[in-house]
Chains A and B, each alone.
Chain A
Amino acid sequence: MAKKFTLEEFLELLKKYNVEELEGVEIEGDLEIEFEEGAGIDLTALTAAYTLLSEFGNFLYHSNMALSYLQRLSAMLGIPTPFAMPAMPPAPAVPEVAPPIPEVKIPEKLVEAKFEPYKMEYPGTIEEVTLGATKSEGGTRGYTVTVGGEKSLPFYIFDAKQEYLPVIAVDVFDMRIGLAKAVRMHYDDVMDDPAEWAKKAVDKFGADLVTVHLISTDPLLKDTPVNEAVKVLEDVLQAVKCPIIVGGSGNKEKDPKVLAKAAEVCEGERIMLASATLDEWEMIAEAAKKYDHVVLSWTQMDINNQKTLNKYLLKRAEVPRENIIQDTTTAALGYGLDYAYTTMERARIAGLKGDADLAFPISSGTTNAWGAREAWMTESPIEGDSDWGPRELRGPIWEIVTGLTLALAGVDLFMMMHPGACATLKEISNTLGGRIKGGVADPGEWIFMEG
């Protein structure tokens, strides 16, 4: 299984191979790694580390994406970048405090006290699930993505290390569909070509994975035959190097057949099949097992149903534990997010407390946020509401806040759409997960700032 490295770990490793400097090695924008002829590097040592180098390229690529996420946010929101703000004037010096007038009731000194944080340890660990397979693992993906492995609540890195932070899968559909304007503007040029759509999601918007929804198979839409529909997957696998997720149309009769066929044509790639439900789990679980894919276990905001379905997959279908991710359903901010949050939080806490049937990574269909009228309607239909402002700015934040709330409940994998929302969610996950260094010099400056 491929491992992700931090920069420090990688440099440590190079030292082990007596590589002091990366002289003569160029890492170009397109992530090709080239060695200059006659470069003074012991290539034998480097060969051993070659796979690590490509991992490093991948790491560098993703960390660069992260660095620029916020910088690119306003462009992604489709608004012209405002003029650069003038630098903040230096804070006025804190005025000198007048010496206190002695008074009987004011103590001379502070009472000494030591804050002793409550220590918390959970007996359980969330399962680690890896999506995708590289060449050495029998697939063709450029890298793999691992989720799960938590030993405490989300981003409680002071309790326990959180090795894997949430990842983002951008939704791709196999036919043109209706999307909110703020989302459509980013995909309009690729909506007739799923492979190009996937490529744009990865190359331009920094998606960790893509989800290909084969919705054209719906008898009420195009009713694309199963054998024909899955061809799209081959195109997408060609176009991108990331692991992929495959979804159906929501048609109970056809989805199992579509997903079973998808499992077959993607043999070796460790895709995720989305989704097995309490109605239709057997055929999907069988296919996943036969071709070694991951199954998404999906129920509707009921922790008992989630437990039941997970048990069916584990005990009846005998799907290996490391091949299951669960989804207890995402409701949009303002439209049942509290239920979605609490169901996920309960599932995560149960898993950490030792309920093995619920100790799986959690996936969220965060794109559901766009169903909220506040995300897409031009103005409020309610008389008396304060102005809703431009919807181009409301929609993305709706997706961000929906996702962030659920990240705090324990979501490991987000299925999303708006590039600005993806970028912001990634930034806050990486920040709370302790992967972003630095901060502001004086966090108290807002107290004095003029304007």
Chain B
Amino acid sequence: MSDTKTVGGGGTKLLLARFRLFFILILLMAVLSVVSPRFLSLENLSNVLWSVCIIGIMCSGFIYSPITGGIDLSVGSMVALAGIIANVLMNIVHMPMLPALLLTLVFGLLVGLVNGVVTTKFRVPPFIVTMAAKTYLFGIAMFVSNGDTITIMGPKDFLSIGVGKFLGLPIPIYIMVVMIIASHILLKHTVFGRRAIAVGANEVSAKLSGVNPDSTRILAYVISSGTATVAGIVMASLTQQAYAPNAAGYEFDVITAVVIGGTSLLGGSGSVAGALIGAVMVGFINNGLNLMNMPASFHPLVTGIVILIALILNQGFTLPAWMKPKKRAAGGQA
């Protein structure tokens, strides 16, 4: 059960939970290295990290939607659209790179603002709101790109974001690490982080403590959309491509990563570090399938099963609270 992992939920427990996750990760790596000797090669591992970067960057912000008790399903479409918008601004409008990317980011933040406002002020469940957003963002992407796969030819600086290296490591890794650390700090050590957890844990109580649940939630969606935009920019630069269905389904990879990492979809708890491990696992699984030369049509099937096993393992070492009689009662009558 993940609920204990956030605010001071007992040091030992937290440590055990982390270890469990690492253990499963190592288990997965062991299996993959047996299946394919190429898996543990430095080249392959850094390849995995590349693909992990996109999911990891998305996770860093996405995590706030489940923590506040909601969900943001629009992040996958946002990634694809961000790449297309950035390309339009740089290569068709011929804006300089920096303003173009900033403008793309502003667009992403606005999408999050709309998601958040509709959820809180119009009281539409976030699942529905962000599913609608997923659809219309994809619509915009299709409309703008004409449904074509656009090859991004430049500018050079932009392309070097994705493929460039610094101290031997790809730049997207640095971006991801910075965003994960920033998100970890945001969750654990800032007023917003505390408020997000409080709103997810008990909205009424949070409200009586002076927290504004609406603005906290709106900010959560803004952050979620914002990081998806960054992920989209990095992905476009990395793949040198912009294509509307590019990141279709990424929202599920992200959900998988945060859930594996111990974030409760019911709100009130979350772990950014856990989400990163989750993202690495999702990356490994996808990578493993490629290494095994498995036909693409099998990928979803295997991915689904492996994720299910990972989740069961993650829960199984200590029983989840709803199966544990003691915990169940403790939450209720005392």
Q: Do A and B come from one complex?
A: no
- Interfacial residues, chain B to chain A (CB-CB below 8 A): none
